[in-house]
Structure 1
Amino acid sequence: MSDSSEKISANKVVSFHYTLFNSANEQLETTRDGEPTLFLVGADNVLPSVEQAMMGKAVGDSFTINLAAVMAYGLRDENKKDRISAKYLKHEGKLKPGQIVRIDTEQGRRTATVIKVGKFSVDIDLNHPLAGQDIRFDVEIMAVRDGTQDEIAHGHAHGVGGHHH
């Protein structure tokens, strides 16, 4: 499945473990206690700056990617707030400020943070929860292989750690 001499390049499927830290060196998330993440190079499945840092790497490579906020999830935009009908978030259960929710927008599915919950409406912040933060990824490349025709056509990796249809 994986050729250890293969380097990461366009249309390769990369399997990798990562640990994400904020600028205070607090661990925010990790894949190391489960399956590695899969992504198809060139399909906008990961942050462009992360994908760029992986180019040319191979199985077994471990490295750190330090990203300023602008290269990670962007700067905070105080105008990215909205009030939506609470009925759109009924599936999220009892809402509370600070809760992360997913909403469908004209730009596709987005992550938002609940600011305030009213009887009929919810104020949300549409900035990514990590917007405005410098972050660090500690990455280890586990496998690299050619993407299949299906994966390339669908624009994402299939299988464990990737997308399932």
Structure 2
Amino acid sequence: MNIDKNSVVTLHYEMYDANNQLIDKTEEPIAYLHGGYDGIFPLVEEALQGKAKGDVVEVTLTPDDAFGEQDPEMIRIEPLDVFPVEVEVGMMFEADDPETGDVIIYRITDVADGKAVVDGNHPLAGMRLRFKATVDDVRAATQEELAHGHVHGEHGHHH
């Protein structure tokens, strides 16, 4: 079966930075609903269209195609006394965006002089990436998956 709209695609991927350093890869395959359901980067989905089990695609993603540009307004310096726990570099926490109501995940990127630098940008924001995917399987989506707009079951979403 070839990948087409409303098919469930299971794949393995590797993601590389601009220096060709591996920065992420699947240990277990991931699955997404193909056809504009926002389950994978649009350029990767476009490259996978018509492919079949065993096919490999490589796509170079600009920041706008992947995790966006770094937004300086998403980086803030906060006094340590606003945190309920002692913070360390690498810790992550959630906060509500007062303007949109969305939840933002912040990372602590530096701690010094009684202050912490918190960054709400995605860790890969601003990066050019190379995404290499190998199709593990392709199947028709179930009616329930189509109604919900995502994959259910193994390697997918569970309710």
TM-score of the superposed pair, with normalisation by structure 1 = 0.77
Q: CA deviation at 1:9?
A: 2.0
Contact 1:63 1:140 in 2 (8 A): yes
Code of the aligned partner of 2:64: V
Structure 2 unaligned spans of 5+? none
Q: How many residues align?
A: 151
Code of the aligned partner of 2:92: V
Q: CA deviation at 1:140?
A: 0.4
* Cross-structure match for 2:88: 96
CA 1:26–1:117 in 2, change beyond 3 Å: closer, same or farther?
Answer: same
CA 1:29–1:122 in 2, change beyond 3 Å: closer, same or farther?
Answer: same
User: How do 1:26-41 residues align onto structure 2 when only pairs under 5 Å count?
Assistant: 26-31=21-26, 34-41=27-34
* Cross-structure match for 2:62: 68
- Counterpart CA distance in 2 for 1:12 and 1:102 is 35
- Return the match for 2:2 from 4, 7, 10: 7
Identity of aligned residues (%): 34
Q: CA deviation at 1:83?
A: 6.6
| Structure label with greater radius of gyration | 2
CA 1:58–1:95 in 2, change beyond 3 Å: closer, same or farther?
Answer: farther
- Counterpart CA distance in 1 for 2:117 and 2:65 is 27
Q: Deviations over 1:101-132 (max 9, x none)?
A: 352645645443223569xx965211111011
User: How do 1:108-127 residues align onto structure 2 when only pairs under 5 Å count?
Assistant: 108-116=102-110, 123-127=117-121
Contact 1:40 1:157 in 2 (8 A): yes
Larger deviation, residues 137-146 vs 74-83: 74-83
Larger deviation, residues 62-71 vs 104-113: 104-113
CA 1:131–1:157 in 2, change beyond 3 Å: closer, same or farther?
Answer: same
- Counterpart CA distance in 1 for 2:77 and 2:150 is 33
